[in-house]
Amino acid sequence: MVEWILRHAGDDRARVGSMAGMVCIVLNVVLCIAKAAIGLLSGSVSIVADALNNLSDASSNIVSVLGFKLASKPADPEHPYGHGRYEYLSGLVVAVLVLLIGVELVKSSIDKLLAPEPMVFSLALVVVLLLSIAVKFWMAAFNRRLGERIESETLLATAQDSKNDVIATAAVLASAIITRVTGIELDGWMGLAVGLYIGWSGIQLIKDTVDPLLGSAPDPRLVEHIRSKIMSYPGVLGTHDLMVHDYGPGRQFASAHVEMAAESDPIASHDTLDNIEQSFKDEDGMIVTLHFDPIVTNDPAVVDMRNRIDALAKEIDPRVSIHDLRTVPGPTHTNVIFDCLRPEDCALNASELKRELAESVQAEYPKAVAKITVDEDYVSAEQ
């Protein structure tokens, strides 16, 4: 099925997601009907709860399909970066639906505990639940393979949800068998456990889908990939101030400063930056804008000072670094101007870091006055 979808959808990411969603809708509706029938006939609130969970999954799949459709809309004057965040919004709607279903299941399970009714055990009940476990296991593998192929967090989340359903349904089946063998009524308790589990999953999904909308830090692997690619080009001495903006899956933009020798031909340096930007566009599908930072490399005094101050910064925190250092000599003192990159979780705030580093520079170079600009590390990774 995976290869069939990929063969018919080609490189159309939205079509792959939509086709996967349609398959999941059909399977979830069939499971919901089968479980609801068995649950109502047997009087099992936990099985009815599991059926409602499948119904919520089908609703989630519908929202996901709509999200893929809307996210594929091209950019327009009002949305110059495209509509990719619709996929995140659809994920948020799905998460809220999951949470609401969990709350309703908890309420119905509490009612069952307060007014218990015997559950009718049957072979059909066992068959339906075993079939559900098998189908959900297949759906988990199906969505994971497609999600990894098109790098879709939505499909990967759906895969995880299906895996969770395998666990929940297995728990319901176990409670039915235990009740049959021992006579101990666990249906209400199991329904309560399933409801709490679904509700907790909804809360976690809400957090996961809200994070990219609020501007979460990029994947460290992406940060390292960008840095490594920039540093692989001849003439590049360093890179810093990397910022990554996420406008939806496959719609990431980045900017960074690139350090190159100030003495080099500016035309040649500009050409190198153009080549790097084009490489990101061609090979990664990412728009990257690079800023040229000239670094003095033929003045030993300036080079030694930059290296020494960078070492002083790392004595404060090994992840701290400096860049864009230049000096302005005067008759009584020399202004040493540079930027300092502060990690997001540094123990010192910006003012404390600036003060401590300025004191270290003053102690090392008595005639120097440090003019420091503290930059925040927006990618939470050492540059």
71-79 average pLDDT score: 83
- pLDDT tens per residue across span 156-176: 878 877 887 887 788 778 887
The verdict on residue 96 lying in a domain is yes
Please state, for a pLDDT cut of 70, what percent of the chain lies above it. Answer: 95
- pLDDT tens per residue across span 369-383: 999 999 887 675 443
Residue 245 bridge partners (DSSP): 253
pLDDT at res. 265: 93
8: its two tokens:
């018919």
Q: What does the radius of gyration of the chain's CA atoms come to, in whole angstroms?
A: 29
CB atoms near residue 146 (< 10 Å): 24
Measure the CA–CA gap between 97 and 126, rounded to whole angstroms. 28
Same-domain status, 205 and 314: no
- Considering 109-118, 130-139, 199-208, the range whose residues carry the highest mean pLDDT is 130-139
Same-domain status, 204 and 231: no
Measure the CA–CA gap between 357 and 365, rounded to whole angstroms. 12
Same-domain status, 205 and 284: no
Same-domain status, 189 and 304: no
Same-domain status, 84 and 184: yes
Please count the structural domains in the chain.
2
Which domain does 267 fall in, by range? 225-376
Longest pairwise C-alpha distance within the chain: 96
- pLDDT tens per residue across span 291-307: 998 888 888 988 999 99
Measure the CA–CA gap between 51 and 38, rounded to whole angstroms. 9
The verdict on residue 382 lying in a domain is no
Same-domain status, 179 and 312: no
Same-domain status, 323 and 294: yes
The verdict on residue 119 lying in a domain is yes
The verdict on residue 219 lying in a domain is no
User: Does 11 score more than 70 pLDDT?
Assistant: no
pLDDT at res. 10: 66
Last residue of a domain, one of 160, 192, 214: 214
Q: Provide φ and ψ at 374, rounded to 5°.
A: -90, 120
pLDDT at res. 382: 40
Q: Which DSSP state fits 320?
A: -
Last residue of a domain, one of 181, 214, 247: 214
Measure the CA–CA gap between 272 and 289, rounded to whole angstroms. 12
The verdict on residue 220 lying in a domain is no
Measure the CA–CA gap between 273 and 74, rounded to whole angstroms. 28
Same-domain status, 365 and 241: yes
194-221 average pLDDT score: 82
pLDDT at res. 378: 67
> Pick the residue with more confidence: 32 or 89?
32
User: Does 127 score more than 80 pLDDT?
Assistant: yes
Same-domain status, 73 and 93: yes
The verdict on residue 58 lying in a domain is yes
Last residue of a domain, one of 214, 237, 253: 214
Same-domain status, 153 and 12: yes
